[in-house]
Structure formats: C-alpha cells, structure tokens
Copies of this chain bind each other. A is one copy, B any other.
C-alpha cells in the first residue's frame, strides 16, 4: 500500500472514530471521511480489526515521535514527557479519548488491540524508567526504583484518561497531582533548577 493511501485511511479512521465512536464504526463511515471508496479500503484491510490495528500502530509511532525531546537534562526530559502525554493530540477531537476508551474495553475480545495497548504501555514505561535512571546517575533524583516510578506514572496516566472521559476531569488536574507525587518520589521539585 502506498504510504499516502495508508495515511489517508488512518486520518479518515481517526475522524470517523471521533464522530461515531468505535461500536458504530463502519467502513462506509471511513470512506465518507476520505476520497476512497469502501471497495478501496476493503482492498487494503480485510476487517475493521485489521484497520484499527494499523490505526493504533500509527498512534504509537506518533506518540514516540512526540516523546523525542531535544532536552538532555533528565528533569527537562521528564517535563517534556508529561507535556507529550497530557497535551491532547487534537484539542478539537472530543470524541478521540472516548473512542480510545471504547477500544480498551474491546481489548479482552481482540488480542490485536490488547497487543497494541501493551506496546504503548511499554513505550511509556521504558521512556520514564530511562529518564529516572539518568536523573539518579546525574544526582538530580534520589535513589529509587526506576521501574516502580515508571509504573506509577503509567497507571496514573491510565487513570487520568479514564477520569477525563468518565468524570469530565481536565487532564491538567491529574497532571498537577502526578507532578506533586513525582516530586515526593524523586526528591526533586519539578520545574526548579532547569530552564523550562
């Protein structure tokens, strides 16, 4: 498949998901959001599951590139990580977090979705653990278990997204509390001593 077609289908899937949610999503709705016919989309993707798999893969790739910060100071890298996680990719797309939550609820019935969410979790945990390791090595953070901190951060992020959808709680609120928690765990006041 040409990368242009792949991009167009992924973007159309994103828009259709935000508009209609996962449960109601049809190939027709995706076609309506693109210049392609349903036949052309079916040619590339046999099933809705195969299409959503590529969509989630793309989501992970985009998240990874958001994480690629230019900062070298572990404290700045941690702030950049929180920025990447807590800034909605598409502020207009109110339907997006809801669609992702619907997909998560489908994970027990679709191994392929579960694998993608596990991949995303690995990416996040490895990123945080690497930052914490460097921060300890460079003497910015107290001695602590980097994997434990990484797990705390990802679980809190999972909770933040659930609270955002279910309770309508702004992501900024959880970000603020996660920051306080990290300060206690890392023995360092986030945002102090670095030029952000």
Contacts and interface: CB of A to CB of B under 8 A. Distances in A.
A61 to B, nearest CB: 19
Nearest to A21: B105
Interface in A149-186: 151-152, 154-163, 165-168, 174, 177, 180-181, 184-185
Interface in A104-161: 104-105, 107-108, 114, 117-118, 121, 148, 151-152, 154-161
Contacts of A108: 94, 98, 165, 168
Contacts of A161: 162
A101 interface: yes
- Copy number in this complex? 2
Interface residues of A, number: 36
Given A155-B160, A155-B174, 9 more contacts: A104-B166, A105-B165, A107-B167, A118-B167, A151-B177, A158-B162, A159-B160, A161-B162, A184-B184
A23 interface: yes
B184 A104 contact: no
A151 B101 CA distance: 21
Majority SS of interface residues in chain A?
helix
Given A159-B157, A184-B185, A152 B165 contact: no
Contact of A159 (B102, B156, B167): B156
B114 A168 contact: yes
Contacts of A174: 155
A188 to B, nearest CB: 14
Contacts of A117: 166-167
Contacts of A151: 177
